[in-house]
Chain A
Amino acid sequence: MKKMRMMIVDDEERFLSTMKKLLAKKGYDVVTASSGTEALEIMSVQNIHVVILDVKMPGMDGNETLRAIKKRFPLSEVIMLTGHATMESAVEGLKSGAIDYLMKPADLDDIIKKAEDAFEKIQGTEEKIRVARMRKIMKSPSEIIQDS
């Protein structure tokens, strides 16, 4: 079982540092990014499973970042963290591919639960890919004969 690597993206520095400490104490592997651009950079060099993404950020905003992540790193799951409790942003996020959303101020336990759920889904998907790949390698005897 692989260990989950999480990334928290938010423009509030204090939030990032405290969350990192908290999640580390709970035993999670956490990286942080303070902007969408930074987040994408990190994801291009590291494998991030679950992203906790703030919706409202200066520069590249949450939704834009979400779409970019889903495009470039489709296997990663994104959980939206929204400050304005409007349904629109959450719905839009879900439509754009976020797996779930949370409203600020969010409970630490809620965040952890949703992240775990997301990681579970990722593992399930990876399993299916592996199975599909295996099936492709394990051809039928008749096919082997045809190939050779």
Chain B
Amino acid sequence: MEKDKITEPSHFSSMRGIIFACMILFPLIPFILALGTGYYYFTTSLEDSSIESMKRIVEDHRHMIESFLKERKNDLDFIVHSYTFEDLSQSETLDTVFNYLQKKSPAFVDLGVFDPSGVHVAYHGPYSLKGKIYKEMQWFKEVMKHGYYISDIFLGYRQIPHFVIAVTREEMGKNWVLRTTIDTVSFNNIVKSIRIGKTGEAYIMNANGLLQTEPRSGGKLMDKNPHNIKYPSSNTHTETFINKDVKGDKYLCTTTWLQNKKWLLVVRQEKADAFKALTSAAYLIILIMGVGGSVISVIAFYLTNRIVGRMEKMDVEKDRLNQQLIGASRLAELGEMSAGFAHEINNPLQIIKTEQSLIQMTLEDMKKAGQLKESESLAELEDSMDQIGLQISRCSEITRAILKFGRQDEPKPQDIHLKDFIPEVNGMVAQKAIVHGISMEQDIAENTAPIHGDPTQLQQVLVNLYNNAIDAILERHGTSGGKLIIKAGPKENNRVEILVIDNGGGISPENLNRIFSPFFTTKSVGKGTGLGLWICYGIINDMHGSMEVSSDVGVGTTVTILLPAAV
């Protein structure tokens, strides 16, 4: 037993560990898997849709910029076909036309007419460019070649970064050129005007990687592009990629070539900004994982404690029941043995009895023969012999009662007349009651009907109840003042009622609930099996009766037995 007690705690601590681990892992694993899978798919789809929408925005922006350039070119085209070279070279006409153009779009800075040899013959604008020769200028050569031309940003005569749109028209075999400068600020605004998140920006650079508009994040016109750029694989393709810029931040970039000019539209946004929803989702998921994980852990811990606590309690309970079982079986053994003892004692008792008879007889003979004179001593002797006879009878009663009690016979039901039966049973405990100063009273109604049952079993029940009552009285009253009352009488519905009333310590309400349960006892181990009332209840039940206990702590207890009257 000691050894078991020592190893038990460690047995439970390893169990505790196992249960705890299982209770955490089994919910946690699917939980994390679900969150993880959800997050992964969410991330992927979010990235994909962000990129898609970025592409669309970029394409729309591109179309807008292309439209702008196309419209400006169309404007020039219209003018070039509406006026002759002669007309347009007049400064008043040029002024009127320019004002009209400006109304259409404030992006026009100036307007100039060039003759076929590249001389700036007429000019309306803020710079003094009239008369200058442009024959060798890149843009002039290009416009002569292609019929219209949009230039890259260049410094030109005015030494200010700008770009121009020029168109030619053939008149009388010679081409003349109409050119306008586009306001870089306006154009910048048009390009910059894209709104993408917090860090989104758009700019244009030419095929050589020189900035044509100023990015919001910094950079001057005609500077080399400060960011790492991937060029799209084809003219129509929109390339999207993520790379790190000089500061180390990750950027989502989209590039696409403009259709009407070899310019690259670059739109970029900080990756964190672009995928902002992802970061918030990630934080939320981490929060959920944290909260969920701790909830799971706490519950697992609490449940494990409960379970292991229960197991420990059950172990303790089991031990206690084992003890009680051992006690009960020992007593049962004792009961069985007592039958043998009683029987064995009867033989010596018989001999003592016959010897006693012989002594008495011999004394009589000796008295008759005159060998013994009447005296006090003789009287005392005779008295002692009588006493011996009495005590032998008493021993015999006891052994008889024990044997009757320990018999494993089948119940032999018969009619029991309580008026005779109860006093007989009372006699069995009378001595014990007297010794402890308990007064026994009985009150059996004359019209009490007989009941049908095995007298031995009924005796067993009554003796058990009497013993319980005596024990209760002793606990409370000590050696005097105890009262044990047995009543019997008829009850309605053809029943008989037997009451066993004591003024002992009483039974508490919690114990009252369990009083008929097997192995329930308030006595220390070895002093009571806790089986008595359980057996009694069973016996009365088998006799088709009922048994009830009512009690008040500090006042006493009443056991009521109801049995059907014998028919």
Contacts and interface: CB of A to CB of B under 8 A. Distances in A.
Interface of A: 12, 14-15, 18-19, 21-22, 25, 56, 81, 83-87, 103-108
Interface string B344-387: 10110111111101100100010000000000000000000000
Given A22-B358, A25-B365, A103-B400, A84 B343 contact: yes
A105 B350 contact: yes
Q: Which 3 A-B pairs have the closest CB atoms?
A: A84-B343, A105-B350, A105-B349
Interface size class, chain B: 20 to 34
Interface in B298-351: 339, 342-344, 346-347, 349-351
Interface of B is mostly: helix
A124 to B, nearest CB: 29
Contacts of B343: 56, 83-85
Nearest to B404: A85
Contacts of B407: 86
A104 B342 CA distance: 11
B365 to A, nearest CB: 7
Given A25-B365, A85-B404, A105-B392, A14 B353 contact: no
Name the residue among B339, B349, B350 with the largest chain A CB count within 10 angstroms.
B350
A22 B354 contact: yes
Contact of B346 (A14, A84, A87): A84
A86 B403 contact: yes
Contacts of B400: 85, 103
A18 B131 CA distance: 175
Name the residue among B339, B351, B352, B407 with the largest chain A CB count within 10 angstroms.
B351
Contacts of B404: 85
B357 A108 contact: yes
Interface of B: 339, 342-344, 346-347, 349-355, 357-358, 361, 365, 392, 396, 399-400, 403-404, 407, 409
14 contacts: A14-B351, A18-B355, A18-B358, A21-B358, A22-B357, A22-B358, A56-B343, A81-B350, A83-B347, A84-B403, A85-B342, A85-B346, A85-B400, A105-B352
Contact of A18 (B344, B346, B354): B354
A36 B366 CA distance: 36
B343 to A, nearest CB: 4
Contacts of A21: 358
Nearest to B412: A87
Contacts of B409: 87
Nearest to A84: B343
Contacts of B357: 18, 22, 108
B351 A18 contact: yes
A85 B403 contact: yes
Contacts of A15: 347, 350-351, 354
Contacts of B399: 85
Contacts of A85: 342-343, 346, 399-400, 403-404
